[in-house]
Amino acid sequence: MAGKEPLVYIDGEYQPKGSAKISVYDHGLLYGDGVFEGIRAYNGIVFHLREHIERMLEGLRITRINSPLSKEELMNAVVETLRRNNFMDAYIRLIITRGRGNLGLDPRSSQKPSIIIMSEPVGPAHGKEAREKGITAIISSYRRDMVDGTTHELKSLNYIQSVLAKFQAIDAGTDEVVMLDHRGMVSEFHGSNMFLVKQGIVHTPTSASGILHGITRSRVLKLAEELGYDVHERDITPYELLNADEVFLTGTLAEVVPVIRIQGVPIGEGKPGPVTKEIIRAFQRITQDPKEGTVIREQVPVPARARTISRPT
Ligand SMILES: Cc1ncc(COP(=O)(O)O)c(C=O)c1O
């Protein structure tokens, strides 16, 4: 693929990255009216593709966007985009917007949702060395919205709050930023979920704190249990966070990364801890397991009604 531009799927067609375009009248652009997924393929396996598509379908239900493609068809479209690009390791961005409408925000003016699938070989957000060295964070003064219509549980195209929080991290010279919920409890990082370890027990905030229901979070919760750790989903105060023995983040783009200093306070001994290291090793192992996702070389089964049957006359 050297020198070749990645192909972007747009509404069933493939366009080279440099000329891939949708309408400026798309309500995804005009109003952030749409949902998206960040997905990863490792060594020819799309990690938990089905779970990503299921989360997206939940978001589409809430936003009342009628996807023209079924779950299996969306899965096939992701896999086919990777095949056409010959990518075995890639970050994938799947977006479904309300579609092209008029300038008013009434969603009824958009008749057909737009489906976009981008893929590129992108490394972990904080670089591979962050796994060994750990990263730093501050706590944002912006608060995650209450668990209502604008909740961050919905992976919508409106990430402006996370963008503003990221600027706070940039200004403070840290790698990451912790978001609190409206009560002041720990929610998540600006684009990933939060875990802490205290006296050998793994803790993570609940959905009541306005977290995104992370696919990596949910697999890491199970993984920690498989490794023999007790896992508690509960409210976590900033005080508890800073006094944790270990803190790490999880997300598709970032993967699993130790956080060693928050708000200037060293976490534990100020270096990646043993539980985090064990979870990182185990996570890297499972990303190579075909049972953990959808194999790119094999076709996802298409339900009978979606197949085109042609008979000779
Ligand atoms: C705000 C936010 N929280 C958490 C996550 C982690 O979710 P996942 O593990 O599904 O990538 C993401 C990443 O998409 C995110 O944007």
Decide if 301 is inside a domain: no
**155 catalytic residue (yes or no):** yes
Whether the CB-CB separation of 52 and 214 falls below 8 Å is answered with no
Decide if 29 is inside a domain: yes
Rounded to whole angstroms, the Cα distance separating 21 from 284 reads 35
pLDDT in tens, 17-29: 999 999 999 999 9
The CA distances from residue 99 to 53, 106, 115, in Å, are 19, 12, 8
Cβ of residue 203 lying under 6 Å from some atom of ligand 1: no
**Catalytic residue among 71, 112, 155, 222, which?**
155
Decide if 80 is inside a domain: yes
Structural domain harbouring 228: 130-291
Whether the CB-CB separation of 193 and 153 falls below 8 Å is answered with no
Decide if 155 is inside a domain: yes
Query: Which residue is associated with the tokens 């375009």?
Result: 21
pLDDT in tens, 124-148: 999 889 999 999 999 999 999 998 8
Q: Last residue of a domain, which of 97, 120, 143?
A: 120
Residue 239 pLDDT exceeds 80: yes
Cβ of residue 193 lying under 6 Å from some atom of ligand 1: yes
Cβ of residue 134 lying under 6 Å from some atom of ligand 1: no
| Residues of the chain by 3-state class (helix, strand, coil), percent to 5 | 30, 30, 40
The pLDDT of residue 307: 44
Same domain flag for 20 and 54: yes
Same domain flag for 80 and 226: no
Same domain flag for 155 and 280: yes
Same domain flag for 167 and 279: yes
Q: pLDDT-based confidence at 303, cuts 50/70/90?
A: low
Least confident range of 104-108, 242-246, 284-288, 298-302: 298-302
In 155-228, at which residue ranges do the beta strands (DSSP E only) sit? 176-180, 186-189, 193-198, 201-204
| Cα 156 to ligand 1 centre (Å) | 11
Given the DSSP bridges, would you call strands 114-120 and 90-97 parallel, antiparallel or unpaired?
antiparallel
Taking CA atoms only, the protein residue closest to ligand 1 atom 2 is 191
Decide if 243 is inside a domain: yes
Q: How many domains does the chain have?
A: 2
Q: pLDDT-based confidence at 312, cuts 50/70/90?
A: very low
- CA 150 to chain CA centroid, Å, is 18
Same domain flag for 113 and 179: no
Closest Cα partner for 109 from 118, 99, 119, 117? 99
For the chain, give the mean pLDDT: 94
| Cα 80 to ligand 1 centre (Å) | 24
CATH of the domain at 30: 3.30.470.10
Same domain flag for 267 and 179: yes
Percent of the chain topping pLDDT 70 = 94
Decide if 181 is inside a domain: yes
